[in-house]
Amino acid sequence: MRSVTIRDVAARAGVSVATASRVLSGHPATSPASRANVDAAVAELGYRPDARARSLRKTRTGTIGILVSDVRNPFFAEIAYAVERRALQAGMATVVCNADESVDQQDRYLDLLVEQRVDAMVIAPQGDGSGTLREVLGLGIPVVFVDRTLADGSDGSDGSDGSDGSGDVSVPSITSDNRTGLREAVEHLVALGHRRVGLIAGPQETSTGRERLRAYREAAAAGDLDPDPALVAQGDFQHASGVAGARRLLDLDDPPTAIIGADSPMTLGALEVLRERGVRVGEDVSLVGYDDLAAFSLVTPALTVVAHDPARMGALAADAVRDLLAGRPASSAVLPAHLVVRGSTGPARRPA
Amino acid sequence: MRSVTIRDVAARAGVSVATASRVLSGHPATSPASRANVDAAVAELGYRPDARARSLRKTRTGTIGILVSDVRNPFFAEIAYAVERRALQAGMATVVCNADESVDQQDRYLDLLVEQRVDAMVIAPQGDGSGTLREVLGLGIPVVFVDRTLADGSDGSDGSDGSDGSGDVSVPSITSDNRTGLREAVEHLVALGHRRVGLIAGPQETSTGRERLRAYREAAAAGDLDPDPALVAQGDFQHASGVAGARRLLDLDDPPTAIIGADSPMTLGALEVLRERGVRVGEDVSLVGYDDLAAFSLVTPALTVVAHDPARMGALAADAVRDLLAGRPASSAVLPAHLVVRGSTGPARRPA
DNA sequence: CCACCTCGTGGAACCGTTTCCATGGAAACG
DNA sequence: CGTTTCCATGGAAACGGTTCCACGAGGTGG
């Protein structure tokens, strides 16, 4: 059952392959008669053009790749959805890939996307911008970072050894303001009298993980919080590490009176632990989440969260891709994040 | 900046294109010398094979498509994730597409996947199996249905006009037992004394929407519930319709004492409405959700839900695809669904 | 009436691979 | 030593489209 090609269509329509191709791609130099014949032949034979062959000859594939860490995280699902939707409007298909918070898998998918010759990529990167990601950036394929970047947000006095190695290639990025969101959260807790505030941090291989941790530390110092390093539990942005992190924090000899989760799956995990232990959220321990999931308003007490806008990030990333593909310079953006105070944060309880 | 091709590699390595190709694809008939030369040339030039050209010559693309209704629905995100993960293990890439609960968009993506010549598709179909979907099924591309099918689950005395038009092509499907789950939910509510049970139903263009509605009606009849048709609010599996449906039900002159949501986004929407109106869930009105999201255990009271296993569905669907691609017959499966009773369902309150 | 331009058309090259087939040399065998 | 077998190799034909180029017919202006 060989599939029907443009040659079959041309034969059936009684025209040359060249003419058939022109009709199919809407080239103006075609007679009405040819058009009718070709269209009829297409319908009769059930012809489906082969996108691979087409794109091999043209330079474009009409496909963009989006590489996020985990589609099961609603935050990234929303981004992927927004990018895809916007891309489809522009007639482009989207390949969604899951790096699964693993650099290896990220590299694997980067290779895949390059080999598929996607026209552009939207990436939520992780790692230090060495290895495969670096190579890929050098290839000249339009890339837009979303949510994360390689270098850190604002200033950057933490560059390990000067020759950072990530900033030489300029990549537009659509991120959100991690510093402000987390700072507001800490200030809010300070105002409520908390002195020992725990953070379930994100992986330090990601800019968001680093920035949120840094903002936490700076705000903690400014608010004169207990700088005990044990108050930072290292997580990996996934559910299980939220569970583990919350347990570790609660098991401290002097446990925190408030906990901040650096993303929503970890926050959910922490919440489960609090429930399981019968800790009253907002009274015994305050909890601040990240990302404003619908479900976060429905738990009791409703969660105080740092909110930002993944749908908008995705849309802007898609716009940036469109600009890049059109040869225009694409602009980066840092979207605002802000604290939404609900019931899960309350006055610090005096340690027993 | 023309990209480097296998010809460049061959030239640099001092071998023919044929030999270079053999080395690259691990063909045994290559000398160690050639291998070394080619590998060196590849590294020096940064050569990346072109998957399109390769797949054009071979017959396989090494890509499968997965077409679900909405990746923002955690249920489908989990399925997509599972399929992708399993496929990657088998060395295949996955293209994720969003039909967005719209037949038009489904058709659009079906065309896209066919033109990309994916080796197989995993589809959560909607519509009546006419139009594009039907054509695609006739193309001989291996297809596996997941979560939904075209025909209805068990018997099927509802086939509108005999010549159903969907059963002629046999497609393996991995679904879950919609009837049992919903029946258990209704029976549970009946046992609690509820007589007027509302359903926020899924779209009747989907098998899951139809089956859950039918199961509701059958169980309602068996349990001697009030058969008032106004108790069924027609939704579309998306959040907003859950909100609208719940409002409509609560605004009835004689509102239901219990509500069942036919999927999780609609359930979440309904829950929001109950909260917003100050209705005490599990006391004033009982609520049963569909899909066992992590967040559903964390709301207060925890939600009674019909649980099933999207991760397993995705994995089985990927296995079925693997079988089909290997020429083996693929087996369908109906996974169990069961009621998980938590705090959101309680004794019926006497209507005021 | 001729030169010119426009327009629809078909032949053929090309995109970057894989793979069939023929070839030549070396090794194995009698 | 001659013949067969084996194996690495290169040339060239696919795969299924698009597009360059040349060509002939018909219309227009001088």
pLDDT at B339 over 70: yes
Question: How many domains, in total, are found in chain A?
Answer: 3
Q: Which residue type, as a one-letter code, is found at position A73?
A: N
Average pLDDT estimate for B3-19: 95
Cis peptide before B301 (omega within 30 of 0): yes
> Residue-wise over A292-304: b if at least 16 C-beta within 10 A, else e?
bbebbbbbebbbb
Q: Do B299 and A294 touch (CB under 8 A)?
A: no
**B105 and B185 fall within a common domain:** no
Which helix (H) or strand (E) segment is B131 a member of? helix B131-137
Task: Say if residue A182 is in the same domain as residue A69.
Answer: no
Interchain pair B268, A295: CB under 8 A: yes
Give residue B351's pLDDT: 56
| Whether the predicted pLDDT of A154 surpasses 60 | no
Predicted confidence band of residue B1 (pLDDT cuts 50, 70, 90): low
- Strand D nearby residues, CB < 7 A: A 2-3, 5-7, 17-18, 21-22, 24-25, 47-50, 53-54, 56-58; B 14-19, 22, 28-31, 33-34, 53, 56-57
Using one digit for the tens of pLDDT, what is the confidence trace for A180-197?
999 999 999 999 999 999
* Interface probe, candidates B114, B271, B298, chain A, greatest A C-beta count within 10 A: B298
Q: What is the mean pLDDT of chain A?
A: 92
Are B98 and A114 inside 8 Å of each other by CB? no
Q: Are A106 and A128 in contact (CB under 8 A)?
A: no
Which of B87-101, B252-266, B298-312 shows the lowest mean pLDDT across its residues? B87-101
Question: Do B285 and B183 fall within a single domain?
Answer: yes
Q: Which residues of A touch B299 (CB under 8 A)?
A: 295, 298-300
Residues A248 and A159 in one domain: no
User: Would you say residue B343 lies in a domain?
Assistant: no
Say whether both A167 and A272 belong to one domain.
Answer: no
Residues in chain A closer than 8 A to B117 (CB atoms): 50-52
Residue A161 is predicted with a pLDDT of 36
**pLDDT the model gives residue A350:** 66
CATH number at A75 reads 3.40.50.2300
* CA separation, residue A91 to residues A56, A73, A116, B43, B108 (Å): 18, 27, 18, 35, 10
CATH number at residue B25: 1.10.260.40
Residue B91 within any structural domain of the chain: yes
Nucleotide nearest to B58 (CA to C1'): C18
- Is nucleic acid strand C under 7 Å from B2's C-beta? yes
Per-residue pLDDT tens digits for A19-29: 999 999 998 88
> According to the model, what pLDDT value does residue B233 have?
98
pLDDT above 60: residue A35: yes
Same domain for B149 and B189?
Answer: no
The pLDDT of residue B130: 83
pLDDT value of position A182:
96
- Subunit contact A299:B295, Cβ cutoff 8 A: yes
Residue A342 lies in a domain: no
pLDDT score of A106: 95
CA of B34 to C1' of C23 (A): 18
Of B115, B135, B239, the CB nearest to A46: B135
For residue B89, tell me if it sits in a domain: yes
What would the mean pLDDT of A200-216 be, rounded to a whole number? 96
**Residues on chain A touching B98 (C-beta within 8 angstroms):** 81, 84-85
Q: Give the mean pLDDT of A61-82.
A: 95
* Domain-embedded: residue B54: no
How far apart are alpha carbons A260 and A270 in whole angstroms?
A: 9
In this model, does residue A3 exceed pLDDT 70? Answer: yes
Cα diameter, chain B: 90
pLDDT mean over B218-235: 96
A205 and A128 part of one domain: no
Domain span holding position B89: 63-177+310-335
Which of the nucleotides lies closest to A54 (Cα–C1')?
D17
- Pair A129, A240 in one domain: no
Smallest CA-to-CA distance from B335 within B122, B179, B160 is with B179
Domain shared by B165 and B228, yes or no: no
Confidence at residue B159, expressed as pLDDT on a 0 to 100 scale:
35
Tokens of A206: 């990601």
* Amino acid, single-letter form, for residue B75: F
Encode pLDDT of B280-335 as tens digits. 999 999 999 999 999 999 998 999 999 999 999 999 999 999 999 999 999 999 99
Tell whether B293 is covered by a domain. Answer: yes
How far, in Å, is the CA of A112 from the C1' of nucleotide C16? 17
Confidence band (pLDDT; 50, 70, 90) for B155?
very low
Cβ-defined contact of B52 to A61 (cutoff 8 Å): yes
- What integer best gives the mean pLDDT of chain B? 92
For residue B272, which residues of chain A lie inside 8 Å, CB to CB? 294, 297-298
pLDDT above 90 as % of chain B = 86
pLDDT, average across residues B123-152: 91
Residue A54 lies in a domain: no
B44 and B74 both lie in a single domain: no
Cβ separation A52–B52 shorter than 8 A: yes
Q: What is the mean pLDDT of residues A108-114?
A: 95
Average pLDDT of the residues in A253-276: 97
**Distance between CA atoms of A78 and B294, rounded to whole angstroms?**
18
pLDDT given at position B3: 86
Kindly state whether residues B300 and B198 are assigned to the same domain: yes
CB contact under 8 A, B71 and A96: yes
- pLDDT of A317-331, one tens digit each? 999 999 999 999 999
Residue B160 pLDDT exceeds 50:
no
- Whether residue A134 is found in the same domain as residue A183: no
With contact defined as beta carbons under 8 Å apart, do B153 and B175 qualify? Answer: yes
Confidence of residue A163 (pLDDT cuts 50, 70, 90): very low
Residue B311: CB less than 7 A from any atom in strand C: no
Q: Which of A239-253, A280-294, B157-171 has the lowest mean pLDDT?
A: B157-171
User: Residues of B with CB below 8 A from A85's CB?
Assistant: 98, 100
Is B345 inside any structural domain? no
pLDDT value at residue B86: 94
